[in-house]
A and B are shown apart, each in its own frame.
Chain A
């Protein structure tokens, strides 16, 4: 039981990171029906911005986090404007392939800039470990979880209460009707990319703290798992991405905690297959019936 609870705690930290990345996938999908495969690499860029902010600019955790979020927001908008916007009326597969190309560009661009070796992420949070009832929780884990929850609450506030957030929901349900309200759909799409990418940037910094190491290819696997998390919760549904992220994180740590560390990735992909077969709209998704 104790081991189980311990894995649950570890899973929450990992799940936080997946959830933050999954939110970006799901929001972008919700608004332009594009799986932005470059999203995992934005998270990687976020980790490197955090690294530079702490190592070179000597910032502490929060300023580094904010800087990384802002940088990734701008990067996300730039990618959308340059790569995806010209394809707005093209086939969906054209945009999808462009996203994959963008992913390679970011990975290899980063290798070109900083080299491909793994580097140690500076530990700006004291590695204090709290123990109670036989369970261990590190300061970093608390920080990751708390930051994630705050960001999620902020996101919910933006999406539910602000004018731009409401416009986002309006565009995602009916872009033409939104246009008829005078909503500038292009701006709303850019805003969505900015929000999603900033969350990925935050996740990048958090994962640097958690695993202590970063490298240019680090976005690939977590990006894919976050995508699975988004599908598990129901792609396009914001609470679904949060739920899916935590679920995948917890499942992964539980599997490796009980001796399955070699197959933990396989289990996650198996979940994707099962979801796609039995409930492709995701656990929180409604089965959309086409009205004639």
Chain B
């Protein structure tokens, strides 16, 4: 579904990723793990068209998208939940979710998806008229995920969904990610928290200083010595 080929992205003169290659097949959860500064967020920014790569290709359903606008990329079916959630503070939960469906015109289908989001995150329905600035971090993460789902994505990009959350919330969020995937949405997940990310992943890639250094199924990576040493403190 998504193929990233020899992707190099620069911030000024600093090369954030060095000819990265990976792919995500339809129906999978794929995790990119790596320490801070490994270039993970940069990859997602490039996929969403927020940051232009210097070289390489990003193919979505065999169509190159590395030069498309973010708007077009969202239209094609790629939706991102950014690192740090980035909910629209000062706007209500409901308005945030509406923004997620910004490009859609099918009003009755939007209503259905809204119900689906409220089913998945019942707390959001309770708080739909509340300013998102007043929500807890976990609830904001739910708003950000619900908002991304409102565009009815085929591929969902998640950037550090566990960041700053209490362990109980992390568990809940990851259960939901698994559920979303089981209902047909492909997921590309980026995490520093390698354990939770690999536990739910079909496959994973390990990024170090802008390069893919290891790949395998989620289980293989969890069991591998290098990953154990570097990320799981064992």
Interfacial residues, chain A to chain B (CB-CB below 8 A)? 163, 166-167, 169-170, 173-174, 176-184
Contact = CB atoms under 8 A, between A and B. Distances in A.
Contacts of B50: 176, 179-180
B170 interface: no
Contact of B102 (A169, A173, A174, A181): A181
B113 to A, nearest CB: 14
B91 A182 contact: no
Contact of A180 (B74, B90, B91): B74
A127 B90 CA distance: 44
Interface residues of B, number: 24
Contacts of A167: 99, 102
Nearest to B150: A181
Interface stretch (B15-23, B78-86, B176-184): B78-86
A173 B50 CA distance: 17
B135 to A, nearest CB: 14
A235 to B, nearest CB: 15
Contact of B91 (A170, A176, A183): A170
The 8 A-B residue pairs whose C-beta atoms are closest, nearest first, are A182-B74, A177-B86, A182-B103, A182-B71, A181-B102, A179-B70, A170-B88, A181-B99
Contact of A169 (B82, B88, B151): B88
A177 B151 contact: no
Contacts of B98: 163, 166
Interface in B120-157: 147-148, 151
Interface string B89-125: 1110001001110110000000000000000000000
Interface of B: 48, 50, 70-71, 74-75, 79-80, 82, 86-91, 95, 98-100, 102-103, 147-148, 151
Nearest to A183: B102
B90 A183 contact: no
14 contacts: A166-B91, A166-B99, A173-B88, A173-B89, A176-B50, A177-B87, A177-B88, A178-B99, A179-B50, A180-B50, A180-B86, A181-B100, A182-B102, A183-B102
A240 to B, nearest CB: 13
A182 B78 CA distance: 10
Contacts of B75: 182
Contacts of A163: 98, 102
| Among A163, A169, A182, A183, residue most surrounded by chain B Cβ atoms (within 10 Å) | A182
Nearest to A173: B88
Contacts of A166: 91, 95, 98-99
